[in-house]
Chains A and B, each alone.
Chain A
Amino acid sequence: MRRYIARRAAAFAATLFFVSALVFVVVRVLPGDPALVIIGPEGSPEAAARLREALGLNRPIAVQYGEWLARALRGDLGVSLQYDVPVGRLILSRLPVTIPLTLMAAALMTTAALPLGLYAARRHRRAGDYLAMLVSQIGIAVPGFWAGLLLILLFSVHLGWVESGGFAGWSSGLWPGVRSLLLPAFALGLFQTAVLVRATRSSVLDVLGEDYVRTARAKGVSELSVLGKHTLRNAMIPIATVAGLQLGQLMAGAIILESVFALPGLGRLVLGAITARDLPLVQGVILFVASTIVLINFVVDLLYGVLDPRIRYD
Chain B
Amino acid sequence: MLAALALGLIVSPGAAPAQNLVVQVTTEPPGLDLTATPASATAGVVLYNVQECLVKVDRHGKIVPWLADRWHTSDDRNYTFFLKRGVRFHNGRELRAADVKFVFDRAMNPETKHPYPGYYSAISDIIVKDDYTITFTLKTPTANFLLNLARQGSVIYPREAVDTLKSEPIGTGPFKLAEWVRGDRIVLVKNPDYHVKGLPKLDRVTYRFIADPNAALAALKAGDIDATMFGLGPEHVPELQKDSRFQVILGETTNDVILSMNNSRKPYADVRVRRAVTHGINKPDVVKGAMFGLGRVLGTNVDPLNPYFVDMAGAVPYDPARAKRLLADAGYPNGFETVLRVSPQYAYSIRTGEVLTDQLQKIGVKVRIEQIEWSQWLSRVWKDAEYDLTIIGHAEAWDIGNYANPKYYFRYDNADFQKLFKESETTVDDRARRALYVKMQRKLVEDAPVVWLYIYPRLAVTKKGLQGVWKDLPLPANDLSEVAWAK
Contacts and interface: CB of A to CB of B under 8 A. Distances in A.
Interface of A: 30-34, 36-45, 47-48, 50-51, 54, 82-85, 90, 93-94, 108, 149, 152-153, 155-157, 160-167, 169, 175-176, 178-179, 182-183, 186, 259-265, 268-269, 272, 275-277
B30 A152 contact: no
Contacts of B219: 156, 163-166, 262
Contact of B382 (A36, A156, A260): A36
Nearest to B396: A42
B38 interface: yes
A164 B222 contact: yes
Contact of B375 (A32, A155, A164, A265): A32
B115 A47 contact: yes
A82 B30 contact: yes
Interface of B: 1, 4-9, 11-13, 28, 30-31, 37-40, 113, 115-118, 166-167, 181-185, 208-212, 214-215, 218-219, 221-224, 373-376, 378-380, 382-383, 392, 394-396, 407, 476
A156 B182 contact: no
A161 B182 contact: no
B38 A43 contact: yes
6 contacts: A30-B375, A83-B182, A157-B218, A175-B11, A179-B4, A262-B211
B8 A162 contact: yes
B6 A149 contact: no
B208 A262 contact: yes
B115 A262 contact: no
Most buried by B among A38, A39, A45, A165: A165
A134 to B, nearest CB: 20
Given A37-B30, A275-B373, 16 more contacts: A31-B375, A32-B373, A33-B379, A39-B37, A39-B39, A40-B37, A42-B39, A43-B115, A47-B117, A50-B113, A82-B30, A90-B182, A156-B224, A161-B9, A166-B185, A260-B215
Contacts of A182: 1, 4-5, 8
Contacts of A157: 218, 221-222
Given A36-B379, A42-B396, A261-B215, A269 B183 contact: yes
Contacts of A36: 375, 378-379, 382-383
Contacts of B115: 39, 42-44, 47
A51 B383 contact: no
Contacts of B212: 259-260, 262
B38 A39 contact: yes
Given A32-B378, A36-B379, A47 B218 contact: no
A39 B374 CA distance: 13
B38 A40 contact: yes
Contacts of A165: 210, 215, 218-219, 224
B31 A83 contact: yes
